[in-house]
Structure 1
């Protein structure tokens, strides 16, 4: 059975890490006394950084960060992570990342969770990864919900619990995450963590397929080919399998092509022509 695509945490980490560096993301800086408060210290750090004085920039940013300026905490995280004006130090980067996360920033919580999951700058600790994913998931972050669900499904960092995995996949799927939709569909198809229901599997695969997810397209195509959860429809099956065959994932594309070949052997020429016409006309659903 083809496994649904797993979330690409490295890409998620990059996107979220970039979000950490954007001005105005996360909590607002704490106000302080004129001339010595976090705002002026942060500005002093910016001036020092612009002039190439990394030591002065670090000192000003650290003073502002200790006083609660989240922007300064972000700058320090980036400086230590990238070696920008200071010697790169993964441990210090995580120290400031944790401060941001502890302040309630969901993006930072997800990035911190990936650091613990990968052992990047900290000792690898999947239980802490799960805890930080949970904090972000409870704030409604669908990426965190998806990643927490995968930990529950595989039993990494938490006791394996497919019902809990289904709960978090559902939260992310309802928020529109195609990977979560495929994963939830697979649980319904197999009857893991939920009552087996191939109609619901087809529903969730269909949403992912419409968004352009190759795993959803492959799984939906197979359901249409076999008439599982949906009325058998070889034209629809051929269309979805053809779209899945375009996947950049070579093994997935080969699976789709093999399924399409087997299906084509049972179809009339006019059915195949209609399916190919639908493939040419197909466009992913917006958003």
Structure 2
């Protein structure tokens, strides 16, 4: 209880300080204040839980160019969370805004949107590859997803010329980055000698890695959830990269 009170007091002081900022910093201060309030009303201070007010404040912060708010709002529309309905058009618009301002997480998602043609995104393998290439070399947690997507693109010749060597190079990067699908695929490749020399030891290594932390009944043949956004929305249904979410707006 004391901790919650301290968090609430800190929030009040922070918002007051932001609102009282110099005139030249008014827009930025207003955005920070709105974002802080959105976190407060989402229950992150332990003092309030008002999803409708949280969404309103998050949208206000996003409209005032708060980058993190823009990304979180995009994921909110992507996944849907009462009282917000899933809206792929709105999700795409906010991901695009955030990606153009430098968000790697948003850029990762745009690759999937263009691959499938979701929301207002033009279905284009070339555009999808372009976004994945922008993010595959980053230190962001979604890099492994982009690396695995590039492996598939080069393997199938979608958006880029078919190139087995490049496909395997991206597969190895994705496996080393921790993508479970890539680890399993690489293990099978070493097991069968497909694209790499047959190597029973490396096959066992990567197949074992792919099973670490995965329940025995999980089916690796199906795609695992892609990067699912900020921890704020970790309780939501994960985003499936190769199938449109159920319900909501479908392209």
- 2:224 maps to none
1:253–1:118 Cα change, 3 Å: closer
2:117 to 147, 155, 163: 155
- 2:90 maps to 128
Q: How far off its partner does 1:62 sit?
A: 10
- 2:203 maps to 237
Asked whether the 8 Å contact 1:247–1:253 carries over to 2, the reply is no
**What TM-score do the two structures reach when normalised by structure 2?**
0.67
- 1:42 maps to none
Structure 2 residue 73 is matched with structure 1 residue 112 = yes
- 1:168 maps to 131
- 1:281 maps to none
**What TM-score do the two structures reach when normalised by structure 1?**
0.60
Q: What are structure 2's unaligned runs of at least 5 residues?
A: 222-251
Counterpart CA distance in 2 for 1:214 and 1:83 is 31
More helix by share: 1
Counterpart CA distance in 1 for 2:32 and 2:92 is 26
Counterpart CA distance in 2 for 1:61 and 1:85 is 21
Asked whether the 8 Å contact 2:187–2:207 carries over to 1, the reply is yes
Kindly tell me the number of residue pairs found equivalent between the two proteins.
Answer: 207
- 2:228 maps to none
Q: Helix, strand or coil for the counterpart of 1:150?
A: helix
**Larger relative contact order, structure 1 or 2 (CA cutoff 8 Å, min sep 6):** 2
RMSD: 3.5
Counterpart CA distance in 1 for 2:18 and 2:62 is 17
Runs of 4+ aligned structure 1 residues displaced above 6 Å come to none
Could you give the per-residue CA deviations for residues 20-78 of structure 1, whole angstroms, max 9, x where no partner exists? xxxxxxxxxxxxxxxxxxxxxxxxxx99x539xx9x98x9689669x532332222212
Asked whether the 8 Å contact 1:166–1:193 carries over to 2, the reply is yes
Q: What are structure 1's unaligned runs of at least 5 residues?
A: 1-45, 256-287
